[in-house]
Amino acid sequence: DQPVVDPAVTATADDIAAMRIRGAATIADAAAAALATQAERSDAATPAAFERDLRASARELYETRPTAVSLPNALRYVLRGTEGDTVSALQSSTVESAETFRAELEQAQSKLGDIGANRLRDGDIVMTHCHSTDALACIEAALESGTAVEAIVKETRPRKQGHITAQRLRELGVPVTLIVDNAARRYLDETDHVLVGADSIAADGSVINKIGTSGLAVNARERGVPVMVAAQTIKLHPDTMTGQTVAIEMREETEVLSADERTAIDGNADGMPPLRVENPAFDVTPPRYVDAIVTERGQFPPESIVTLMRELFGETTAEPWDG
The residues binding ligand RUB (CB under 6 A) are 22-26, 68, 130, 132-135, 161, 197-199, 209-210, 281
Query: Which one, 90 or 139, has the nearer CB to ligand RUB?
Result: 139
Query: Which one, 97 or 161, has the nearer CB to ligand RUB?
Result: 161
In terms of Cβ atoms closer than 10 Å to its own Cβ (0-12, 13-18, 19+), residue 236 is buried
Give Cβ neighbours of residue 187 (< 8 Å, ≥ 6 apart): 127, 152, 177, 179
Active-site position among 53, 130, 134, 283: 130
Least spacing, CB of residue 212 vs ligand RUB, in Å: 10
DSSP letter assigned to residue 252: -
Least spacing, CB of residue 266 vs ligand RUB, in Å: 27
Active-site position among 6, 199, 283, 291: 199
Query: Which one, 55 or 159, has the nearer CB to ligand RUB?
Result: 159
88, 93, 161, 250 from 132: Cα distances, Å:
37, 31, 9, 20
Least spacing, CB of residue 218 vs ligand RUB, in Å: 17
Query: Which one, 177 or 279, has the nearer CB to ligand RUB?
Result: 279
CA distance 301 to 40: 42
Q: Are 109 and 138 a contacting pair, CB within 8 Å?
A: no
Which residue's CB atom is positioned nearest to ligand RUB?
Answer: 197
Least spacing, CB of residue 239 vs ligand RUB, in Å: 18
Q: Are 154 and 216 a contacting pair, CB within 8 Å?
A: yes
138 is a catalytic site residue? no
CA distance 278 to 266: 16
In terms of Cβ atoms closer than 10 Å to its own Cβ (0-12, 13-18, 19+), residue 148 is middle
Active site residues: 130, 199
